[in-house]
Structure 1
Amino acid sequence: MPRSGAEARRRLREAALELYLERGFDQTTAAEIAARAGVNERTFFRHFPDKREVLFDGDGDLRAALAQAVAEAPDGLEPFAVLLHAFRRSAQELENTRPYSEPRWKVIAATPALRERELAKHAWLVEAVAEALRRRGTAAGVADLAARTGWAAYQHAVQAWVDEPAQGLSVHLERAFDELRALSSTAPPGPDRTPPN
């Protein structure tokens, strides 16, 4: 039996991922996860409200870390530079947990209920980033747009890193944000704007 709460939580996460990969998410019960982890079902529910949340453990920490990184970014940076600073700080943790994260992504991609949960979690993270930008003085609409666009660039960089792991996630992040800036600087003028001479 695991002796500490942290150890039990870790074993539950690992057991859940193993079972989801072996049997599929829908075919796995909380009781089976608990048994594989060497704890009882009551312990499972002490740590997680349902079997979906096992795969999203740590999202609260990520939310707090991203908000803090935005708050601590150097003064004078434009919003995308602030976001790149924040995402770069979280990249190391993602790189450290890649052996767990990669099979986790496969399970989520194969399970509609988990994809839906992931989208809800992403919206929650984006709102935290937007709020942190607003606290830095970025106008509300701009903060929301920057957070949504920046998160899309972050997700793009993570996927590129999964496909091409030889380069670190920070390299992919830099490239994604460079491409985002290039896209925005070459966007065609809107109907209420005239092209430059």
Structure 2
Amino acid sequence: MGRWKPDARGRLEQAALELYAELGFERTTVKDIARRAELTERTFFRHFTDKREVLFPASQPLEAGLVAAVREIPAGQEPLETLMAALRTLPGALADRRELARRRSAIVAATPVLQERELAKMASLTDALARELRERGVAELPAQLAAESAAAVFRTAFTRWIAPDEAPAELGVLLDRSLAELQHVVAAG
């Protein structure tokens, strides 16, 4: 294995992304990832439960972070305003992960089993946000509609944020634009 190098987890993530892009997700093994990262399979399993988790390590922290952000927002705002304020805390946390998110998104889009995992992750996030709104006293239907709307705004903004273009907009700006578009669609009936 050679001399010890720092950041085993980061090296495993990098190796996995490279191999998924080169060989495809299905054809890449944990052994391949560990070998590329110059680590052992045992080290891989210290950091990840399986090869899918390499692509989804941030789902629980993202959900927990957004729920915590909702809890920090003063009561009295409309449900969607509350969730949008929570979403606006994300750009700083994700700013340095844009290229990683692009690469990850391409791999997920090319692999049906990963698309299913991505949908489950978003459903869990939406449920957590709706539950938090209900705990703040919002009725069931408005809480669910606000959570679904906020999730749609986030997905739309995030997709635009990782799209390859010459002059990329910041995620916060794209969140606001996506919300404005949603409000326009709703107002137009």
Q: TM-score, normalised by structure 1?
A: 0.87
CA distance in 2 between partners of 1:61 and 1:153 (Å) = 19
1:3 Cα deviation from its structure 2 partner: 6.1
Is it true that 1:173 corresponds to 2:141 in the alignment? no
Match of 2:26 in 1: 26
Match of 2:60 in 1: 60
Q: Please tell me the residue identity of whatever aligns with 2:171.
A: L
Is it true that 1:182 corresponds to 2:175 in the alignment? no
Q: Please tell me the residue identity of whatever aligns with 1:162.
A: I
Aligned residue for 2:88, secondary structure, equals: helix
CA distance in 1 between partners of 2:168 and 2:160 (Å) = 11
Query: What does the per-residue CA deviation read over 1:134-189, in whole Å, with 9 as the maximum and x for residues that have no partner?
Result: 122111221112111210111111122233553211111111112222222332xx
CA distance in 1 between partners of 2:179 and 2:133 (Å) = 17
**1:7-156 map, 5 Å:** 7-156=7-156
Aligned partners of 2:99 and 2:162 also within 8 Å: no
Aligned residue for 1:97, secondary structure, equals: helix
Segment drifting more, 119-128 vs 86-95: 86-95
Segment drifting more, 55-64 vs 159-168: 159-168
CA distance in 2 between partners of 1:14 and 1:2 (Å) = 17
State the aligned residue count: 185
CA distance in 2 between partners of 1:55 and 1:31 (Å) = 16
1:51 Cα deviation from its structure 2 partner: 0.6
Aligned partners of 1:11 and 1:37 also within 8 Å: yes
CA distance in 1 between partners of 2:184 and 2:20 (Å) = 40
Aligned partners of 1:69 and 1:86 also within 8 Å: yes
CA distance in 2 between partners of 1:37 and 1:74 (Å) = 45
RMSD over equivalenced CA pairs, Å: 1.6
CA distance in 1 between partners of 2:133 and 2:8 (Å) = 36
C-alpha change, 1:8 and 1:2, in structure 2 (3 Å) is: farther
C-alpha change, 1:3 and 1:162, in structure 2 (3 Å) is: closer
Unaligned runs of 5+ in 2: none
Aligned partners of 2:157 and 2:175 also within 8 Å: yes
C-alpha change, 1:2 and 1:17, in structure 2 (3 Å) is: farther
Unaligned runs of 5+ in 1: 188-197
CA distance in 1 between partners of 2:161 and 2:47 (Å) = 31
Q: Please tell me the residue identity of whatever aligns with 1:182.
A: H
Match of 1:192 in 2: none
Percent identity, please: 45
Q: TM-score, normalised by structure 2?
A: 0.91
Aligned partners of 1:63 and 1:125 also within 8 Å: yes
1:68 Cα deviation from its structure 2 partner: 0.5
Aligned partners of 1:2 and 1:38 also within 8 Å: no
Query: What does the per-residue CA deviation read over 1:35-80, in whole Å, with 9 as the maximum and x for residues that have no partner?
Result: 1112111121222111111100111110100101111113321111
Larger radius of gyration: 1
